[in-house]
């Protein structure tokens, strides 16, 4: 296990510096996505469900939006990340197909299935066959910034989805103006978790150091559960580390019972200043029964808490990668699976 390099060493290392820069650029990426999403043509007909279909990092912006919409808006958002989109999707729904690369086989297949049902989906991608087919079909397309690490494009994808969703839901908290203002505040938050800040004062580094002591076991509620999932996924891809996520209250009724069988778990909690009293009581019970290593608290509106927690998770995963001296750009297992699928 290596020690965490200083800021200059991190930023000059081609394995970490460019991706850390992409984390610090999240305010700009959110705004860029909002601008692109605002240009999408949306019909006047009421929308029954906003369906986001994507896998991996391309599903995360939908997960973020769904977690916020469930508390803030009246039009439901559902995220589908299976081999096929839901059978119930129809022309009464608004469908967004998301694949950064444009090569995800499941998303390309979903485009074919949707068009055969008479559904004209929105396509969010940077290129590939998905973009080619969408343009041939004259569909609405949001073209993402090219040449990014795909999973780091989440803020831009979220911005585009949120701008479209606002137009069908009318939700003020998810308006482009509101999200843009929130994104600007992330620049201040970044100064708290940037490479220049020592671990004693840096929650992202503190969490990364915990990953060197055991497997993270993360408890989170509501919108912060989406951030916990992001942390799990980013630790896996960037730092090559496992992470266990528990949704409060759901997993307090089942999976929490099996935690004693696992040795070396480092339990942490993601807490929201907006959590209701019953959830606070549940977190108190968790703290009394388990050895919580740390509680990471996020404060602000639901949207700000989620966006700052995602930024924190991304930074934590890259610090953890640097601690382990592994290359976050390399995803050999995922690459082998993709090649096997695309070769079918």
- Domain boundaries, position 212: 7-14+194-324
Question: Please, are residues 311 and 189 in contact by the beta-carbon 8 Å criterion?
Answer: yes
* pLDDT value of position 229: 98
Tell me, yes or no, whether 145 lies in a domain. yes
165 shares a domain with 205? no
* Cα 54 from Cα 59, distance rounded (Å): 5
* pLDDT value of position 136: 97
| pLDDT > 70 fraction of the chain, expressed in percent and rounded | 99
* pLDDT value of position 279: 98
Tell me, yes or no, whether 333 lies in a domain. no
211 shares a domain with 111? no
Tell me, yes or no, whether 88 lies in a domain. yes
Question: Please, are residues 75 and 47 in contact by the beta-carbon 8 Å criterion?
Answer: yes
Cα–Cα distances in Å, from 297 out to 95, 270, 309? 34, 6, 9
Q: What is the pLDDT of residues 306-330, one digit of tens each?
A: 999 999 999 999 999 999 999 999 9
* pLDDT value of position 1: 47
Beta carbons within 8 Å of 242's beta carbon, 6+ residues apart: 215, 235, 236
* pLDDT value of position 337: 86
* pLDDT value of position 302: 98
Residues in the chain: 344
202 shares a domain with 173? no
241 shares a domain with 161? no
175 shares a domain with 76? yes
Collect the ranges in the chain with pLDDT lower than 50. 1
CATH of the domain at 53: 3.40.50.10490
- How far from each other are the two terminal CA atoms of the chain, in whole angstroms? 40
* pLDDT value of position 45: 86
220 shares a domain with 119? no
Question: Please, are residues 23 and 180 in contact by the beta-carbon 8 Å criterion?
Answer: no
59 shares a domain with 175? yes
* pLDDT value of position 2: 63
User: Half-sphere exposure of residue 177, counting CA atoms within 13 Å on the CB side?
Assistant: 4
pTM, 2 dp: 0.96
The two tokens of residue 258 are: 């099996």
Residues facing residue 124 across a β-bridge: 98, 142
* pLDDT value of position 3: 84
221 shares a domain with 143? no
């Amino acid at each position: 296990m290596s020690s965490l390099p200083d800021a200059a060493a991190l930023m000059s290392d081609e394995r970490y510096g460019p991706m850390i820069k992409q984390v610090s650029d999240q305010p700009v990426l959110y705004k860029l996505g909002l601008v692109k999403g605002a240009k999408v043509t949306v019909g006047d007909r009421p929308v029954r469900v906003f369906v986001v279909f994507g896998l991996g990092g391309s599903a995360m912006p939908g997960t973020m939006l769904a977690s916020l919409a469930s508390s803030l808006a009246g039009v439901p958002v559902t995220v589908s990340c299976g081999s096929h989109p839901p059978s119930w999707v129809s022309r009464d729904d608004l469908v967004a197909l998301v694949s950064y690369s444009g090569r995800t086989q499941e998303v390309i297949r979903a485009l074919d299935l949707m068009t055969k049902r008479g559904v004209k989906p929105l396509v969010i991608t940077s290129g590939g066959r998905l973009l080619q087919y969408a343009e041939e079909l004259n569909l609405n397309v949001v073209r993402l910034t090219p040449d990014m690490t795909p999973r780091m494009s989440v803020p831009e994808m979220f911005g585009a989805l949120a701008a479209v969703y606002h137009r069908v839901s009318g939700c003020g908290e998810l308006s482009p103006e509101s999200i843009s203002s929130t994104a600007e505040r992330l620049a201040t938050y970044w100064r708290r978790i940037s490479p220049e800040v020592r671990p004693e004062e840096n929650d992202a580094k503190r969490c990364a150091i915990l990953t060197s002591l055991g497997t993270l076991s993360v408890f989170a509620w509501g919108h912060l559960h989406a951030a916990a999932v992001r942390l799990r996924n980013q630790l896996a891809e960037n730092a090559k580390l496992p992470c266990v996520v528990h949704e409060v209250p759901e997993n307090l009724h089942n999976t929490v019972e099996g935690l004693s069988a696992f040795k070396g778990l480092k339990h942490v909690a993601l807490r929201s200043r907006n959590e209701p009293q019953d959830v606070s009581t549940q977190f108190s019970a968790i703290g009394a029964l388990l050895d919580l290593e740390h509680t990471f608290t996020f404060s602000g509106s639901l949207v700000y808490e989620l966006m700052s927690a995602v930024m924190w998770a991304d930074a934590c995963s890259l610090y953890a990668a640097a601690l382990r001296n592994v290359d976050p750009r390399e995803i050999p297992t995922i690459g082998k699976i993709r090649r096997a699928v695309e070769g079918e």
